[in-house]
Chains A and B, each alone.
Chain A
Amino acid sequence: AQTVTQSQPEMSVQEAETVTLSCTYDTSESDYYLFWYKQPPSRQMILVIRQEAYKQQNATENRFSVNFQKAAKSFSLKISDSQLGDAAMYFCAYWGSARQLTFGSGTQLTVLP
């Protein structure tokens, strides 16, 4: 079974600065997808970014980008120019042959004004 590990339960960043959230995963599959989801205080989970494992190029969505290291099974999220609205719980997730999302334990991000 696949596992997803987020080793940082909490992180903080100063507004306008850059922060990187870490995620590692364990799998024997070669074809899969990785995700970062955001859960603000409203509790509504929002898809932030998706990476397809067969693509070497790192995914980018505006201020959000990933560093995907397939051999190292690492998938970190970088948030540039952090804004107060970025404060949320961030979950890393894996989707593979089981056709279900497996989530990490989450990282609570605080943005300091």
Chain B
Amino acid sequence: DVKVTQSSRYLVKRTGEKVFLECVQDMDHENMFWYRQDPGLGLRLIYFSYDVKMKEKGDIPEGYSVSREKKERFSLILESASTNQTSMYLCASSWQGGFGGYTFGSGTRLTVV
């Protein structure tokens, strides 16, 4: 069964901490994505990557960075966590010609206190 695995289901961090959210896929997909999900706003794209060591900003990149050192792993980094980054974070992957058919992880619910 193909999978996108997010390392934590729930996470509580303090304001100002550096936070790492990890995502690993086992499908050899080229494309990987990080979304943020908030009630009434749907999913908003933070960053995405079409290849190793490649990254592109999405719609809401402020306060975030990413790292993709290996094809299967895409990390989202909150450089200095703030309370307005409390949210659900979803990772997804697709093959290069996936035309929107993404495979999603189960999400990390992050609370910043």
Interface on B for A, CB 8 Å cutoff? 31, 33, 35, 40-45, 48, 50, 58, 88, 90, 92, 99-102, 104-107
Partner of A44 from B31, B88, B100, B104 at Cβ < 8 Å: B104
Interface on A for B, CB 8 Å cutoff? 4, 6, 9, 33, 35, 42-45, 47, 50, 91, 93-95, 99-106
Known: A91-B43, A105-B41. A100 touches B48 (CB 8 A): yes
The tally of CB-CB contacts under 8 A between chains A and B is 51
- How far, in whole Å, are A47 and B100 apart by their CA atoms in the complex? 10
Tell whether, in the assembled complex, residue B101 and residue A100 are in contact, meaning their CB atoms are under 8 Å apart.
Answer: no
Known: A100-B58, A104-B42. A33 touches B107 (CB 8 A): no
CB distance from B59 to the nearest CB of A (A): 8
CB distance from B2 to the nearest CB of A (A): 12
Tell whether, in the assembled complex, residue B104 and residue A35 are in contact, meaning their CB atoms are under 8 Å apart.
Answer: no
- How far, in whole Å, are A106 and B44 apart by their CA atoms in the complex? 12
Partner of B42 from A44, A100, A105 at Cβ < 8 Å: A105
Tell whether, in the assembled complex, residue B88 and residue A43 are in contact, meaning their CB atoms are under 8 Å apart.
Answer: yes
B108 to chain A: closest residue by CB: A43
Known: A43-B88, A43-B107, A45-B90. A103 touches B102 (CB 8 A): no
